[in-house]
Amino acid sequence: MRIALTGEALIDFTASEGGSLAFLGHEGGSPLNTAVACARLGQPTGFLTQLSTDLFGERLMAFLERNGVDTRLILRSDAPSTLAFVERTPQTNRYAFYTRGSADATWAPEPLPQLPAECRFLHFGSISLLQEPASSRITDLVATHAGRCVIVFDPNVRPSLIPHMAAYRARVSEWFGMADLVKFSDEDAALLAPGRPVDAFAAECLTAGARAVVVTRGGAGATLWRTGSAPLTVAAPRVEVVDTIGAGDTFTAGLSVSLLAHGVEHPAQLTELGDEAWRAVMRFAATAAALNCTREGADPPTLEAVHTALSQEDNEAVASRP
């Protein structure tokens, strides 16, 4: 296990065209999507959560195992599975979550699990931080492994689940301070720092303790900020978009997988990595996310598919030169 992720695992019911209340179920949840993406991209990946023994929990466990995710640290419970209903709109996706008392929301291992010595990245974030006792135990887990693992934080803000946004923003500031690598979308930034420029908010994250901050902008690409370096932006590959669910999660996975491929195994190495290496990391992540968007639901690509797409893009760039 080189990459570990903790947080929710749920069933996404996405609205279909069959009628106003017709939904099609997919295994999902931001941490689960990211875990599956990391595994498909070739890195040994483990997942820490609590899954229900209900029919949805059984599907989630089978899905993780089928995709090669290490499930030995997953707990089981007779509490219900978390469910999410997703309605697509031309601009974004709208969500309705059913989380209260669910298996993943009540994750509270005692003692905390210890990650294997070979683990180098630990991801946390998303709606798992909105429910107790899971939120506190996840925060404890991250604190326990700070300095040994590269801590990756993706807030994945879901305003429909946040009754007091001001209090939530204060908590997010604390989590920024625990992270080495922060990734969020421009939509997240608008909710967390309304009316403020994204670059100012990224600078605030760096001041809080993050070594690198990446902001995604969907089809407009992504930008990296580091202390003492100019912002670095990569474009998003042009693809025919079928569905954007899981794109951000796949991007996050691509960052960790590519950083490991570039030799980053400790937090300090995030600031030591040069611009060209970071550009390659960002491009890899953006390509993986774009390929996910060519299929319905969260369906991350394989490592081979990403390498093929990158090679094709390079060949086209060479052919277009005068």
- The answer to whether 101 touches 83, Cβ cutoff 8 Å, is no
Q: What is the mean pLDDT of residues 17-26?
A: 76
Distance CA 200, CA 196 (A): 7
- Determine the pLDDT at residue 242: 87
pLDDT of residue 90: 60
Residue 226: pLDDT band with limits 50, 70, 90 = very high
Q: What is the pLDDT of residues 160-211, one digit of tens each?
A: 889 999 999 999 999 999 999 999 999 999 999 999 999 999 999 999 999 9
Give the confidence band of 21 by pLDDT, cuts at 50, 70, 90. Answer: confident
Q: Helix axis angle, 275-292 relative to 303-319, nearest 10°?
A: 110
Question: 158 with 39: CB under 8 angstroms?
Answer: no
Complete domains list, the chain, with CATH? 3-8+30-49+115-312 (3.40.1190.20)
**What pLDDT score was predicted for residue 92?**
65
Q: How much is the pLDDT for 15?
A: 80
pLDDT of residue 279 exceeding 90: yes
The secondary element (H helix, E strand) that includes residue 98 is strand 93-98
Output the six-digit token pair for 238: 């042009």
What pLDDT score does 18 carry?
Answer: 60
Give me 231's structure tokens.
């912002």
pLDDT of 318: 72
